[in-house]
Amino acid sequence: MQAGRAVVATVIGDGSGFRRGGRRHLLPWAVVGVTVIWNLWVLRATVTPATYPNDSAMAEEMTRFATAQLQAGHDPLTTWFPYLGLGSPQFLHYQSAPAIVTGAVGLVVGADAAFRWSLYLLWCLWPVAVYASARLFGTRPLAAALAAAVAPLLASAPGVGYEQHAYAWNGYGIWSQLWASWALPFAWALSWRAMTDKRFLAPAAALVALTAAFHFETGYLAFAAVVIFPWLVRRDLRHRAARAGVLLVTSMLASAWVWLPLLLYARWAAVNQALARTPLVNGYGAHQVLGWLVTGRAFDNGRLPVISLLVAAGLLAVLAGWRNAGEGRAFVALFGVGLLLSFGRTTFGELVSIIPGSTDLFFRRFFMGSQLAGIYLAGLGSAAIAERGARLAAAAAVRLRRRGLPWFGWVPAALAVAAGVLYLAPAWRSLGRYDAANAANMGYQHAADTAESPELNALLSYIRHHPDGRVYAGTPYNWGARFTIGFVPVFRYLASQDLDAVGFSLRTASLMSQPELHFDGSNPGDYALFGIRYLILPVWERPGAGAVPVLRAGQFQLLRLPGNSYIRVVDTVGSVTANRADIGSRTARYLRSPLPGEGRDLTVAFAGATPAPPTLPASAPSPAPARRPVAAHALTPPGTVLREQVDLADGIATAEVTATRWAVVVLSASFDPGWSVSMDGRPAATEMVAPALVAVTVPPGTHQIVFRYHGFAAYPELLALAMLSLLAVAMEAGGIGLARAVRTAPIRQEAGNSGDAGTTGYE
């Protein structure tokens, strides 16, 4: 009987925040602890060193790059990331805070180890974040613990939300989203608390800004909470709206170092043209998403809807007690917002354009907001069921005592716990099978890396000692998909070796990322245009004409394309008009033409800018298949590269060139306004040539050309603005003692007239 009463006390809780006392706090922490230990055990293969077959390959490469830049005393945010998409300011365009933080840890333990362990620990310990954030919201202890228990059990049809498939080796490898999965729960909880206690304004703003720095789409969900929270309680709306306004402005200032450079450089960030018209970008639409929700595939894809039913139970419990629902209102509202945003352009069409940056958003990702809110609701639903079960168990224990069987008083409570474990068994079994397959595949990949990488690395060692051009090992659309080490295509394996390569496409916002999709492996001129010096081919693939064998080991052969390098001297014979949304399709015809192989380029009228004038007369041929005759002088090379030294990781390329007539010196690197160029020691104007390369026009003669990349320079000022804005709000709110505020402030949302504490109405 005492056991039954203890369970009832634990379930009901006291709603008094983080106060400790008695046995009622042991069971919630036991639930969280068991969940974490289970995660640590079943996912232990995550730390196995195995080449990644998904987006983690890029994330790990960014981490190594961050470590190298920090070791050299450079700011990764302002550097040129050279390895993918012919280079880009990747740390500006992409959510790079996780790579920088992990790269800093990599200074001590090594970048690859830091990456693997961050992936492992962030996911395995995520239930702790769910529990702690739920308690910050005001959720009772066991309800918060049950939310933490179901948190790692989700499995959805899209597979890109808060679930193992989004992060695992077998899945998508969306590592930066995993970092934000820790920040978003606390951003939501602190924002909720800030509506009635101004001491939480600065911490809430810091977490909202941090969420945006970790992952852009998740940052939108953090800002959305700030907008909707004031309206969930009718009383004291004026104070709540005022605090929300302060929180919104402070969050914007604190995250300006993330979004302001993006805004200023948005013109040169390519839209993913290959996916722009697909549900991956536009969202799956209301019909599809609601269908998954109703059928259980939003939380329990491929198994019985055990989590979906708990979410439904929590949703019904909140709606039934809406008047006194407290933080439950926030969970329901956030669940709805995540759903609406995930419908995306597929449902709302151009109406989504009112969302800042909508052109670059992947709307399907926003369902992760509904998943997180659903986890909290599942905790409430589980607690409501557990409360009923605990009372029944206590009553059964009383009856047993009255019948002279007091030593069986523990049986009803044990049966109730066993029923809960049995209920979740389908989810555990499903994930257990997934984790076993993941571990087996990682083990196979590790063995393949160990067996085959020494042969390939012998070839790569030669390239590193002769770094005068890029590497090509196929693409996902040709033989490259079948040319693998274990499960990983060689063109993707090259990312694990930090080699400047062509083929692992659509991973950056560089303007060349879209033309890269149209690279024509049968057109010799494209190899020169993309700066490809080396070919790594399987032994069963015949090289094209002009390729010189260098080395052969196992299934790998290395060939060199003489004459190709990072820098060319070419003629320009016309222009093409393009912008960041169509640069790939507008230049595809040029890539398929003979012009790249003939050393004749097109200038680009980019985003309404005036193109540079061509260096050949107007009678020069167009890129049309049926070209008009051209004068003999136009067929002779306009010049040569006498010598060059290129270090794109350091953002510099120098060359001595000679031009026999007015010509264009092209650096095979994606165009960006951060590139500057000097000719013979004097500044010159950069220009864009097709598809989207940086270049400079030179007169006849011999010239010293220096291309240099300069990153966004105002990061120190913006980071100072972030710190000052947070400090100002914290000081105005009466100090920065968050721990004291957590201990002393009422944790249940209250709507009084004073603004800091008041009555308990939720009307």
Same domain for 540 and 574?
A: no
**56 part of a folded domain:** no
Percent helix, percent strand, percent coil in the chain, to nearest 5: 55, 15, 30
Q: What is the DSSP letter of 18?
A: S
| Domain assignment present for 641 | yes
Res 692: pLDDT: 97
pLDDT score, position 3: 40
> Which of 14-23, 245-254, 396-405, 561-570 has the least mean pLDDT?
14-23
Domain co-membership, 190 together with 257: yes
pLDDT at 387: 78
Least confident of 378-387, 495-504, 568-577, 727-736: 727-736
Chain segment 638-697, per-residue pLDDT in tens: 999 999 999 999 999 999 999 999 999 999 999 999 999 999 999 999 999 999 999 999
What pLDDT score was predicted for residue 399? 66
Least confident of 14-23, 26-35, 444-453, 681-690: 14-23
pLDDT at residue number 741: 55
Phi/psi of residue 385, nearest 5 degrees: -70, -45
Task: Note the pLDDT of residue 758.
Answer: 33
One domain for residues 506 and 640: no
d(CA 381, CA 145): 12
Same domain, 167 and 298: yes
| 552 shares its domain with 579 | no
Average pLDDT rounded to a whole number, residues 110-121? 98
Q: Tell me if 229 sits within 8 A of 337, measured CB to CB.
A: no
Q: Which of 288-297, 383-392, 426-435, 476-485 has the lowest mean pLDDT?
A: 383-392
Coil, helix or strand at residue 639: strand
Angstrom distance (rounded) from CA 393 to CA 410: 9
Report CA-CA distances (Å) from 471 to 163, 428, 462, 563. Answer: 35, 44, 12, 14
Does 146 have pLDDT greater than 80? yes
Q: Is 148 a domain residue? A: yes
Does 549 lie in the same domain as 470? Answer: yes
At 523-534, the pLDDT tens digits run 999 999 999 999
User: Could you tell me if residue 445 is inside a domain?
Assistant: no
Say if residue 133 is in the same domain as residue 233: yes
Phi, psi of 268, rounded to the nearest 5 degrees: -110, 15
Give the per-residue pLDDT at 757.
35
Q: What is the mean pLDDT of the chain?
A: 89
Residue 720 is which amino acid? A
Q: Is pLDDT of 139 > 90? A: yes
Query: What single letter denotes the amino acid at residue 396?
Result: A
Provide the pLDDT for residue 621. 47
- In percent, the amount of the chain with pLDDT more than 90 equals 79
Q: Is 73 part of any domain?
A: no
Residues 346 and 247 in one domain: yes
| pLDDT tens digits along 700-737 | 999 999 999 999 999 999 999 999 999 999 998 875 45
Q: Per-residue confidence at 745, pLDDT binned at 50, 70, 90?
A: low
Q: Is the pLDDT of residue 625 over 60?
A: no
Q: What is the pLDDT of residues 89-114, one digit of tens each?
A: 999 999 999 999 999 999 999 999 99
C-alpha 540/C-alpha 150 separation (Å) is: 49
DSSP run (H or E) holding 98 = helix 97-109
| Neighbour-count burial for 164-182, b at 16+ CB within 10 Å, e otherwise | bbbbbbbbbbbbbbbbbbb
Strands 470-472 and 532-538, sheet pairing: parallel
Q: At 532, is the secondary structure helix, strand, or coil?
A: strand
Centroid of chain to Cα 23 = 41
Residue 236's pLDDT band, with cuts at 50, 70 and 90, is confident
The more confidently predicted of residues 201 and 620 is 201
Whether 92 is covered by a domain: the verdict is no
Looking up tokens 């399987």, which residue turns up?
A: 538
Is 437 a member of any domain?
A: no
Quick check: 300 and 308 in contact, CB under 8 A?
yes
Residue 480 pLDDT > 90: yes
Which of 516, 545, 560 is the last residue before a domain boundary?
560
Assess whether 156 and 257 both reside in one domain: yes
608 has pLDDT over 50: yes
Q: What is the number of domains present in the chain?
A: 3
Which residue range(s) make up the domain with 140?
A: 2-42+125-395+719-744
Torsion sign over Cα 410, 411, 416, 418? positive
Averaged pLDDT for residues 272-278: 90
Query: Which of 582, 646, 675, 566 minimizes the C-alpha distance to 265?
Result: 675
Instruction: Answer yes or no: is 97 within a domain.
Output: no
Tell me what pLDDT residue 675 has.
Answer: 98
- Do 504 and 520 sit in the same domain of this protein? yes
Same domain? 33 vs 179: yes
Query: What's the CA gap between 461 and 440, in Å, rounded?
Result: 30
**Last residue in a domain, options 515, 538, 560:** 560
Question: How does strand 488-489 pair with strand 682-684?
Answer: unpaired
**Pair (365, 475) in one structural domain:** no
Q: What pLDDT does residue 635 have?
A: 67
Around Cβ 461, how many Cβ atoms within 10 Å?
12
Q: For 158-167, how does the pLDDT look when each residue is reduced to its tens digit (9 = 90+)? A: 999 999 999 9
Q: In what order do the strands lie in the sheet with 501-502?
A: 501-502, 470-472, 532-538, 556-560, 548-553
